[in-house]
Structures are given as C-alpha cells and as structure tokens.
Structure 1
Amino acid sequence: MTDLKTCPSVLEAIGNTPIIELSRIAKDLPGRIFAKAEFMNPTGSMKDRIALKMIEQAEQEGKLQPGSIVIEETSGNTGIGLAMVCAIKGYQFIAVMSAGNSPERRQILEAMGAKVELVPQTPDGKPGQVTGEDLALVEKRAREMAEEMGAFLVNQFHNPDNCLAHYETTAQEIWQQMDGKIDYFLDVVGTSGTFTGIARALKEKDPNIQCWVVEPATAAVLAGKPVTNPRHVLQGSSYAKVPDLWDPAVCDGYITVSDGEAIRSARRLATEEGLLCGYTAGGNVAAATRIAGWCDPGARIVTILCDSGMKYLSTDLFKAKG
C-alpha cells in the first residue's frame, strides 16, 4: 500500500492523479488507451493545477496582497479551482461566466464562497453550448470588472503559467507513470494550456511522441478547417478560435469528433470502465479509440479525463440514451 501523509491544506492534494488503462473500451483494438484521471483532483478537474500555479505565481510577483480581489472569466472548472485556492489563501474571488454553462458549476462556485457574475449568451445562444462569441462577452465583462474594482485578473487564456503548470506537473507525472513508453498523446484544446504544456514537455523527453489535437467536427479551427457550427458539447474547450497559448510546433496531427461520438464515449466510460466523466473526456476517449483502431499493435495512447461527470447531471449526457 502506498504511504499516505497528511496535508496541511487541500492544496497539497492537487495532482498525482492516477493513469487508468481503458482495457475494456479498447479490448478489440490494436492500440492500448491510457487515461490520466484528472477528475480526481480536489474539485474534480485538471484546472486545479493551473489555479494554484497562477495564484502562487501572482503572489511571488507581488500582484496579490492580503485582502486582494481575484477575478476570472471561466467556463466553470478553472473558476472552481480558483475558488478553492482563494478560500485557502483568503482572497475574495469573483467568477465571470456565461449563462450557457451548466448550472452545477455556478452552484459549486457559490457553495465555495465565490461570487458569480453571469453574462447572457448572444441572442441565438443555446444553454450547454458556449461559443467563442459568448466567451468574448464574458472576457469583456471580466476586464471591465477588474478595472472597476482594482482586482487581479487571472487571465487564463493569456497567462503562460497556465502552460507551465502542466509542463511542470501533469507531463512529468505522465512520463513517470508510463515509464516513458508513450506513442501518442492527445487532448482537446480550450485555453491550450494543457495540450501545449504537456506536449512541449513530452517532446523534450522523446521527440518521437505523436501529439494530436482533438477538435469538434464542426469547429476544427486549429486544423485550418471552416467553422460550420460553433455550438458543440465540448464545454470549456474548442471555442472556434486559435488561443493565445497555442503552439503548433508541438502538434503532429488533428482529429475531430462529433457531439454524438463524445456523448457515446462518455457513457461508455461510465458503464464499461466505471468512470463518470464529462463531455470533453468523452471526446478525448472517442478520438483515442479511433487512433487505437489504426495504430501499430500495442501502441500506447495517453489522453486526459478532464473533469467529473457530476457537473453535467442537469444536461442530457447521462439521460436516456438516444
């Protein structure tokens, strides 16, 4: 049994999540799929890592003082991670988010002491499908509030510490857990912090590792394809724009998934692997399954289970299968 130690706070429980082989989903495929269980971070998502890194770096740079107010635009997960960090460190946190995100996220933020500023979607917006246009409204409001209140704007979409958190922690854990035996790494892109940070670190260790981006079939902007429909279920990712933190130099390929594929894979994760995860994890696994079908026998594919499915119970994700 692994030796367990006490933690002086929940912040020390961030990271060191397990990698789980999806041997049931991939049982009839040539490739092997391994999933980094980031939903096992304290607040249920990989964003806990960047929340801690960005706040601690701001402290080191003197941007935060006792009593400071922290503001961030968020689809939910980064905000929830920041609410946790700010609760421990004593900062007031305000999350600015689109009304289109699932209500569970808003409820969790408020339960953790955060103030939530909801920004209405564009006139043709649809709940559960936040677009780049919706996000632009959120970003505008967050910047306005930060200026009005003299608050610290975390700015995850442009903050290099977002990438650095995954470069320093997630990627190193993956390398060690896989004993350096990785053929493919793939992940969706939202801010691009996770993909860029992990891919950059893995390629430094082994340039032969293939790093592939997963995008919605209707909004594969990084692959240079036209956006036919920016509304998709991959919440917190793929906003049909090239993010500031994107680095094409560490990307070897692009793969798209439909909403239906993401939903079916998320349901398979729950019913076949016992892993209750969100839409984006389903998208990652759908893409990994496709690569596992045509790769060399025994190839080892690593992807990310981004967040817990508990945040999607109000959506159609786990409702009667259609």
Structure 2
Amino acid sequence: MEYLDRHDSRTRTWVAEAIRKVEADTNRSSDTHLHVFPLPSHWGVNLYLKDESVHPTGSLKHRLARSLFLYGLANGWIGPTTTVVEASSGSTAVSEAYFARLIGVPFIAVMPASTSPEKIALIEFQGGKCHLVDDPGAIYAESHRLAAESGGFFMDQFTYAERATDWRGNNNIAESIFHQMSMEPYPVPAWIVVGAGTGGTSSTIGRYIRYRCHSTRLAVVDPEGSAFYASWKSGDPDATALGSRIEGIGRPRVEPSFLPGVIDRMIQVPDARSIAAMRWASEVTGRDVGGSTGTNLAAVVELIKEMREAGEQGSIVTLICDGGERYRGTYDNDAWLAERDLDIHPHLADLRAFLAS
C-alpha cells in the first residue's frame, strides 16, 4: 500500500473536499427510521425494526462504505487518482461504488462469475465496474493484484470494518438506536439482534453497549454454512465452513473484524427459517425485507419466547438490512427454493402461530 504525498497542497485540498462530500451525505441520510413491529400489548415485550434499507444505496452497508471511505481518505490511502478496489458481490460494492462516484474516483468490484445480473446492474448503475473471477476463493488475491497494478487501494472491508467505524459515537448505528429508543416504554433494550457479515456492525454495537455501561445484551445471528457460529461456540478463530446462502451475512472463514468478546449470545438459524421469516415479516408489517432481515427476526422470535416464559418485560431492537426487491429471483421465488430443497412452509406456519399464541 502506497501513502499519498500529504504535503502536496492540491492533494490535501482534494482530500478535504472529498471528506466534506462524504460527511454531507451523513447529514442527509445517517438516521434511519425505527419501526414498531406489531406484537400483542399484553406480552409486555416491544420489538423495533431499524430500517437501514432507506439509505441512498438501499442497505445497512451504506454506513460501512461511508466509514471505509472516510478511513481511507483520512489515512492518506485514497487520493484524486486512486482506483478503489473491493472484494464484494453484494450490497457493500453497491454502496462503495456510490461513494467512489460521489468523490470522483474509479471503483472496481471483484466478484465471482456466478454473481447475479441484478447485482452487477446495481453496481454499474452507481458507476462501478465489475471484475468477474471463476474461483470465488480468489477474489481477495485478485483484488490485491488489481490494486497493485493500477496503483490503487484495496478497501478490504473484512479487515477494516471494525476499525473504520467510531464505536464511541459520531452517530454510528448504536448511538442512533439508543437515541431513538430514549422515549419508548423500555428505552434500554433487553437485546439488540444483528447478523455478522464482516463483523463490523456487531463489533460497533457491542463495544458501544459496554462503553456506555448499558445492560443490553447483544445477540448475533448466523446462517447455515457460516464459520462465525462454530468459531464463537468452540473458541477456534480458524474455524471454516462452506459459506452462506443468506446474502450479506455469514462467511466461510472468520473475518478479522469479527470480535467474539463483545457478543453475549450467538444463534444459528436454518436457511429455510430465515426465508420464511423474511416473507412473514412482509405479511405482518407490509414492509418488503431481505433474507438477512429474516434471519434476524427468526432469532428475535426465540428471544421473545424466552422472555415471556421467564416473565421478563422489555424491548428488543433488530435491523431491516435491505429490501426484498433484490431477491425476487431467489428467496422470493418458489422455484428457486425447490431447486435447493428449501421447504419454508413448516417454518412459516410456526411463525404465524407465534403471533396467534
């Protein structure tokens, strides 16, 4: 990695203006809506959904991309002629392409050749270029190679996610949640429930809870095929897995930004139940949500059951990570599910019965 000449006044001026543009985006879009999920009032448990799908690029990853760009600019890694490279075929690449265009630098997303045309179109719509590789395991090495050849910068979300975000505050997602909850009946949540992709969001929230001395517990959900749950349970930082089918969360390896020490509990959710909960959420709330939101809600249901059995009252907060419109050809497609032997109907019936119990 080459550092820019910070003594060049033109570069300093450009960097200052780029940071101003990114910070201006923060003012326009950082605080997202907190929706009430309809639960029977006599349960004494309130559930809230923080809607990260309303960001300009449509997902929770907008926050991460903004933090990564500020980190790269402040560290002298991104300048006026820097090509930014990222290993991502999903929402992070869409959001990073947006910020690259905002400050006027090229962006390349390195992704498997199997990536859906819809995802490629979203990245290209934001001004990014897509570099496809046949071997999904080669995206990291290929990203390093492209960055070196172009004199650019490999953003490396999986390494820098937890350190790029200011977990003490600065309107991060944790601070936003507690501020928005301040006038609710149970202002300090009993649980906050999130998934882990890079591990950056769970690290930020877990650190903030401890820093502010809240009693809130952090539950991290993990889909089938992800290494995070196995690593947290066994304590093995080198645990590996096949990889997740729920986009945006789960990884085949334990990423550097995943911090198990800030997590109170991990819950593994079967893919069929994640997708059932995604569809159930749309039925109950009228909001179109994605698969990782379904994973969150599947775990939330288990926590609510436990709270009720224990006679505990309080609040739970989880995230709407992105919208369901990105998954019309996959999770929302019954033929796609049948091809993969995913039977969501027993889970859907169970979730419907949960509210009627």
Is the TM value for this pair above 0.5? Answer: yes
1:167 is displaced (CA, Å) by 5.4
Distance 1:142 1:285, change over 3 A: same
- Code of the residue aligned with 1:238 in structure 2: it is G
- The aligned runs of 1:115-130 (5 Å cut-off) are 115-121=129-135
The match for 2:166 is 164
- Code of the residue aligned with 2:270 in structure 1: it is S
Match of 2:246 among 234, 252, 255: 234
Deviates most, 81-90 or 207-216: 207-216
**Structure with the largest fraction of helix:** 2
Secondary structure of the residue aligned to 1:186 is: strand
The match for 2:3 is none
Distance 1:51 1:231, change over 3 A: closer
- Rounded to whole Å, the distance in 2 between the matches of 1:103 and 1:29 is 44
Secondary structure of the residue aligned to 1:289 is: helix
1:165 is displaced (CA, Å) by 6.8
1:258 is displaced (CA, Å) by 0.6
- The aligned runs of 1:144-293 (5 Å cut-off) are 144-159=145-160, 160-164=162-166, 168=170, 169-179=172-182, 180-219=187-226, 220-224=229-233, 230-293=242-305
1:154 is displaced (CA, Å) by 0.9
1:30 is displaced (CA, Å) by 5.7
1:208 is displaced (CA, Å) by 1.9
**Could you report, residue by residue, the CA deviation over 1:88-133 in whole angstroms, capped at 9, with x for unpaired residues?**
1101111112234443221111112110012224xxxxxxxxxxxx
1:223 is displaced (CA, Å) by 3.1
Q: 1 or 2 for the larger relative contact order (CA 8 Å, sep ≥6)?
A: 1
Contact 1:13 1:42 in 2 (8 A): no
Match of 1:47 among 42, 61, 64: 61
Identity %: 26
TM-score normalised according to structure 1 size? 0.85
Distance 1:21 1:230, change over 3 A: farther
1:221 is displaced (CA, Å) by 2.2
- Rounded to whole Å, the distance in 2 between the matches of 1:192 and 1:184 is 17
Deviates most, 267-276 or 52-61: 52-61
- Rounded to whole Å, the distance in 2 between the matches of 1:41 and 1:166 is 22
RMSD of aligned residue pairs (Cα, Å)? 2.6
- Rounded to whole Å, the distance in 2 between the matches of 1:138 and 1:8 is 30
User: Which consecutive residues of structure 2, in runs of 5 or more, have no partner in the other structure?
Assistant: 1-21, 336-343, 346-357
User: Which consecutive residues of structure 1, in runs of 5 or more, have no partner in the other structure?
Assistant: 1-6, 122-133
1:231 is displaced (CA, Å) by 4.5
1:52 is displaced (CA, Å) by 1.5
Secondary structure of the residue aligned to 2:202 is: helix
Match of 1:308 among 288, 307, 323: 323
- Code of the residue aligned with 2:166 in structure 1: it is L
**Could you report, residue by residue, the CA deviation over 1:224-251 in whole angstroms, capped at 9, with x for unpaired residues?**
3698963442212211322211222211
The match for 2:85 is 71
1:107 aligns with 2:110: no
- Rounded to whole Å, the distance in 1 between the matches of 2:118 and 2:167 is 26
Contact 1:75 1:236 in 2 (8 A): no
Contact 1:33 1:300 in 2 (8 A): yes
Aligned residues between the structures: 302
- Rounded to whole Å, the distance in 1 between the matches of 2:232 and 2:244 is 17
- Rounded to whole Å, the distance in 2 between the matches of 1:211 and 1:238 is 17
1:9 is displaced (CA, Å) by 6.3
- Rounded to whole Å, the distance in 1 between the matches of 2:168 and 2:84 is 22
The match for 2:7 is none
Match of 1:22 among 37, 40, 55: 37
